[in-house]
Amino acid sequence: MLGPLNVNLEDFDVSVKNGFLPSQPPLQQLADPYYGAWEDIVGNLPVLIRTQTIRAAVDELPLLSTSKLQSEREWQRAYLLLSLLAHAYIWGGKTPSERLPAAVSVPFLIVADRFDLPTTATYAGLNLWNWKTTSPTGSLDLDHLETLHTFTGTQDESWFFLVSVAMEAKGGEVIPVMLKAMDAVRTDSPQVVAESLHKFAKVIGEISVLLERMYEKCAPQVFYHQIRPFLAGSKNMAVAGLPNGVFYEEGDGKGEWRQYSGGSNAQSSLIQLFDLILGVEHSPTRNTKVAAVGPKAKHGFLTEMRRYMPGGHNKFLAHMESIVNIRPYVLNHPAPEVTEAYNHAVNELSAFRDVHIQIVTRYVLNPARQKRQPEEMTTSAGAGLNLAVASSNSDGKKGLQGTGGTELLPFLKQGRDETRATALE
């Protein structure tokens, strides 16, 4: 009989209570007035974008040092602020900017390096570190959450981010449960394994319900034409006007061309953890442009997305990958209740991916096929050329890219089918 795994979640910056969300709510402002220039622009971001004055405002920023950032929450907020400034600058004009001024890129490179994150707007910045709760008990229920910042100032964008935050909070509940299940495998306790898998399935079902609530306060046309362009990265974005990526200036004529994927739910450590727990294996889609080698090459784009997760979370997934034992146990265990519980969880995860495909169809594919209305041309920032405009100029069916830079619908359908195939007879 094997002993417990003794996984200490805090070693990986994972919260026992909130999962991949921080244990404490993110800071709402950097207290040191030294960073007031960052705070002022981000606090007025929707107006600056709407009036097309965001680049002029950023160009006047002083180059600030990161030496006055102290706590982890301050560093997280700095990452959020600089992410917003970077993407607002790149996408907030008639055409995308191929350069990012040193006042943003220099501190951004330092702050991002602290978290092993790239200098782009990631899921971590826009979702994990961009919320507050209005609940007197600190509840992270969707109806008690608010975003700290958005690009557009719309309720739609806020709701889009908050649905993911609520999903992360709910999903975090299963991390201790499934660690317990993995210990139960080591002690050959099938009843505990089965009970844990049923709890796991229940939470995935609840997450699907949360995702379906996207329709309540986020309109597809607003998302597609006004919000989505600001989530785009600089990798595989020639169609949207960035054939070389973005040049990150570092002063004195120095700098570097960089290409990054944009914000994507594939950067959610929680969703990738679900796959690891159940042993779902994904292969690269035919369009994935990821040079992956070694034992993880089969994961393709998803492995690439781990580079867009905070370093601790990335290491947690790698550690879980090395010790996960649920599927082998189910394969080799004769108890039908264990197989039934496992298939229950697989079916719920497959159903979640069906909901995701429905959301993407309604919020991305359908708007891409529809003729854009004149009023949308004037309300969308950066209406000259961005991901929405470029995608709408395509046929809307073949080759439509996600903000992460991958071909959207084939990637999602393949992931759903590979999940279904994991179920056992």
Give the dihedral of Cα atoms 192, 194, 199, 200; nearest 10 deg.
110
DSSP 8-class letter at 59: H
Q: 248 in helix, strand or coil?
A: strand
Q: Which residues are annotated as a binding site for heme b?
A: 356
Question: Cα separation of 391 and 408, whole Å?
Answer: 12
Closest CA to 174 of 300, 17, 3, 24: 17
Question: Cα separation of 171 and 182, whole Å?
Answer: 17
Question: Cα separation of 323 and 316, whole Å?
Answer: 11
CB-CB contact of 57 with 90 (8 Å)? no
How far CA 354 is from CA of 79, 107, 208, 214, 364, in Å, comes to 33, 40, 9, 14, 15
pLDDT at 334: 81
353 domain-assigned: no
Element (H, E) at 419: helix 408-420
Q: Which residues are annotated as a binding site?
A: 356
Closest CA to 114 of 148, 150, 149, 82: 82
Q: What angle do CA 289, 292, 296 make, to 5 degrees?
A: 130
362 domain-assigned: no
133 domain-assigned: yes
For 389, other C-beta atoms within 10 Å of its C-beta total 19
Closest CA to 287 of 399, 122, 205: 399
Question: Cα separation of 97 and 381, whole Å?
Answer: 13
Rg, Å, the chain Cα set: 22
Range of the domain at 313: 24-321
pLDDT at 400: 62
For 6, other C-beta atoms within 10 Å of its C-beta total 7
Contacts made by residues 99-103, CB under 8 angstroms, sequence distance 24+: 99/246, 99/247, 99/249, 100/246, 100/247, 100/248, 100/249, 101/58, 101/59, 101/61, 101/249, 102/63, 102/249, 102/250, 102/251, 102/255, 103/58, 103/59, 103/61, 103/62, 103/63, 103/64
328 domain-assigned: no
* Helical H segments across 287-384, by residue range: 301-305, 311-323, 326-332, 336-360, 366-369, 374-379
Torsion 113-116-121-127 (CA) sign: negative
Closest CA to 153 of 48, 263, 59: 48
285 domain-assigned: yes
The residue type of 158 is S
372 domain-assigned: no
354 domain-assigned: no
Element (H, E) at 89: helix 72-91
Sequence-separated (6 or more) residues with CB below 8 Å from residue 222: 152, 154, 156, 157
Overall domain count for the chain: 1
Question: Cα separation of 158 and 83, whole Å?
Answer: 16
Closest CA to 160 of 236, 226, 206: 226
Q: What is the pTM of this model?
A: 0.91
Residue with tokens 């830079």: 405
152 domain-assigned: yes
Composition of the chain by helix, strand, coil, percent to 5: 55, 5, 35
pLDDT by 10s per residue, the chain, length 425: 688 899 999 999 999 999 999 999 999 999 999 999 999 999 999 999 999 999 999 999 999 999 999 999 999 999 999 999 999 999 999 999 999 999 999 999 999 999 999 999 999 999 999 999 999 999 999 999 999 999 999 999 999 999 999 999 999 999 999 999 999 999 999 999 999 999 999 999 999 999 999 999 999 999 999 999 999 999 988 888 899 999 999 999 899 999 999 888 889 999 999 999 999 998 876 544 433 333 333 457 888 999 999 999 999 999 999 999 999 999 998 889 999 999 999 999 999 999 999 999 999 999 988 865 544 444 444 445 666 666 555 544 445 656 555 567 888 888 899 999 899 98
For 260, other C-beta atoms within 10 Å of its C-beta total 20
pLDDT at 397: 45
HEC-encoded secondary structure of 110-174:
HHHHHCCCCCCCCHHHHHHCCEEECCCCCCCCHHHEEECCCCCCCHHHHHHHHHHHHHHHHHCCH
Q: What angle do CA 383, 150, 206 make, to 5 degrees?
A: 115
CB-CB contact of 259 with 245 (8 Å)? yes
Question: Cα separation of 391 and 201, whole Å?
Answer: 36
